Amino acid sequence: MKVRTAFSTCRLAACVVALGLPASTHAATPSAPETASASPTSAPTPTPVDQAFSRWLAQFKQDALGEGIGQATLDAALPNDLQPIARVIELDQRQPEFVDTFWNYLDRRVDEARVKLGGDKLQEHKKLFRQVQVKYGIPASILVAFWGLETHFGRSTGNFPTPAALATLAYDSRRSAFFRGELLHALTILEQGHLPAADMKGSWAGAMGQMQFMPSTFLNHAVDADGDGRKDIWHSLPDAFHSAAHYLRKAGWHPGEIWGRQVILPNGFNSELARYDLKKPVNYWAGLGIRQASGKPLPSTSSKQAMSGALLLPQGRDGPAFLVYRNFDVIMEWNRSINYALSIGHLADRLNGQPELQLGRDADNRRMTRDQFMEIQQLLAHLNFDPGEIDGMPGSKTRLAIRAYQKAVGLPVDGHASAGLLEYLHKARVNGASDL
C-alpha cells in the first residue's frame, strides 16, 4: 500500500492522484509510495555517524516512553547506535526521469506471467479465499490482484528494517510528522507482541507484509485469523488476506458489485464529461450512447438500484475508456493512483477469465519526462492558464488548466498531458498564439 492519510489514518505515503504518476504505497493506510512495495532486497547501508540524528533519536525514544512504549521494545527496535539508512534517503528523494503512459503502466503489471501465477495462487488457496469472501464479501480475484501488485504474491515484501526506515524518514523527510506517527505505530505493534523487532521488515517507506500495510493500517485493520494470538501479516496468509479484506470492507466495498468496465464511446462524444469527480447513473451514460467493450448496451437498472459511475480516459480521448463504480473508489482508498486502481481491476478481471484489454491501443503511447511535463506547465502558465505548481507532476490543477486551454483553442477536451499536447503548445508559441 501507499503511504496515505485519508481513510483510517492512511495507507500510503506520497499519495498522488495524477494519472500515471506513482502514488503512495497502499491499503487502508496500508502502504507507501508505489515504488516502495517491492523495494530492493539487498541489505540497507547506514550512513556515517550523524550526531544530530543521534540526538533526535534519543529525544524520540524519551517521547515514545511517554506514549507507553517499553524500554525493551525501544532497545530492540531502535538501538542507541542506529543511524539513518542512506538507501532510504536516496529512494525518498528519487524522482523517475520518465512517467509511464497508462498502457506502459498496465502492461508491466498485468502480463501473462502474473495472470498465470495469480490463477495458480487462486487454486492453491481457494478454501482460504472462500472463507474470506463469506466473511467480508471481497472476491478472491480482487485480493489476489492486490497481492500480485503489492508483493508479487509474497515474493517481494521488502528487506528494510521497518523501525529504522521509518526513523530515517521521520528525521530526514518532508513528511516527518507522518512518518513519526508511523514509527510510533510500528513500535506499538512490537509492544503488542505480534512479532520480534528483528523480523519487522518491509519497504523503504514502511509498508509491511504480504499486502504492504503501513503500521497505522495494521493497527486499524489487521486480523488474527489463524487464532494464534498474533496478527502476522508477514508469514500467515490467513492473517494477511483477512486483514486486507477487513480493510476493503471497512473502506466501503459493496459485495456483488463490479469495480467498473471498459466501454466504447460514440463518435463525437463530449470528452469534457470524462472526470473522476463527475459521477452519474449508469442509465445516464447509456443514454449518451456509451456501450460495453463488447458492443452490447450497458446494463439497465431501476431508479432505486441505479449504480453511479465516472468516466475515465487514462490516456486521453484516443485511448481506452472506463466506466468505474463505487468499488473502484474503494480501490482508490488503497492507492490514490488511477492507473494502479485500473490495473487492480483489470488483473482481477483476467483472473476471472476475462480477455486482455485491446480497445484504445492506438493512442499516442510516447513516454514523457518530468522536464516535458514541466514545460507543458510553463507554457500553460505563459498563456495565463494556471497549472498550479510547476513541478513536472501533472496533478488536478494542471489537468484543469489543460482542459481550459483545449476548450479555448477548439481541441477535444480531455485534460490529458501528452507529447501531442506539448507539440501543439510549441507550434502555438511559434505561430504567435501566445496572445490567447
Taking the whole predicted model, whether its pTM rises above 0.85 is answered as: yes
Residue 3 falls inside a structural domain: no
**What residue numbers bound the domain in which 386 lies?**
368-435
Residues 333-384: pLDDT tens digits?
999 999 999 999 999 999 999 999 999 999 999 999 999 999 999 999 999 9
Please give the DSSP secondary-structure letter assigned to residue 226: S
Give per-residue pLDDT as tens, 297-313: 999 876 555 689 999 99
Closest CA to 322 of 284, 287, 276, 361: 276
Cα separation, 93 vs 87, whole angstroms: 10
CA–CA gap between residue 436 and residue 380 (Å, rounded): 11
Is residue 355 situated within a structural domain?
A: no
> DSSP for 160-219?
EEHHHHHHHHHHSSTTHHHHHHHHHHHHHHHHTTSS-GGG-EE-TTS-BTTTTB-HHHHH
Distance CA 74, CA 433 (A): 63
**What pLDDT is stored for residue 300 in this prediction?**
80
Query: Is 354 a domain residue?
Result: no
pLDDT of residue 297: 97
pLDDT in tens, 246-272: 999 999 999 999 999 999 999 999 999
Where helices occur in 321-418 by DSSP H, the ranges are: 326-334, 338-351, 370-382, 396-409
Does residue 7 surpass a pLDDT of 80? no
Residue 188 CA to residue 380 CA, distance in Å, equals 48
d(CA 271, CA 229): 53
The helix/strand/coil state of 4 is: coil
In-domain check, residue 352:
no
Beta strand pairing call for 260-264 and 321-324: antiparallel
Domain end among 272, 305, 324: 324
Residue 413 lies in a domain: yes
57 is a domain residue: no
d(CA 204, CA 208): 10
CATH of the domain at 383: 1.10.101
Half-sphere exposure (Cβ direction) of 418: Cα atoms closer than 13 Å: 22
Angle at 14 between CA 9 and CA 370, to 5 degrees: 165
User: What are residue 366's phi and psi, to 5 degrees?
Assistant: -75, 130
| Whether residues 372 and 320 fall in one domain | no
Q: Is residue 267 part of a domain?
A: yes
Domain count, the chain: 2
Residue 274 domain-assigned? yes
Q: Residue 420 above 80 pLDDT?
A: yes
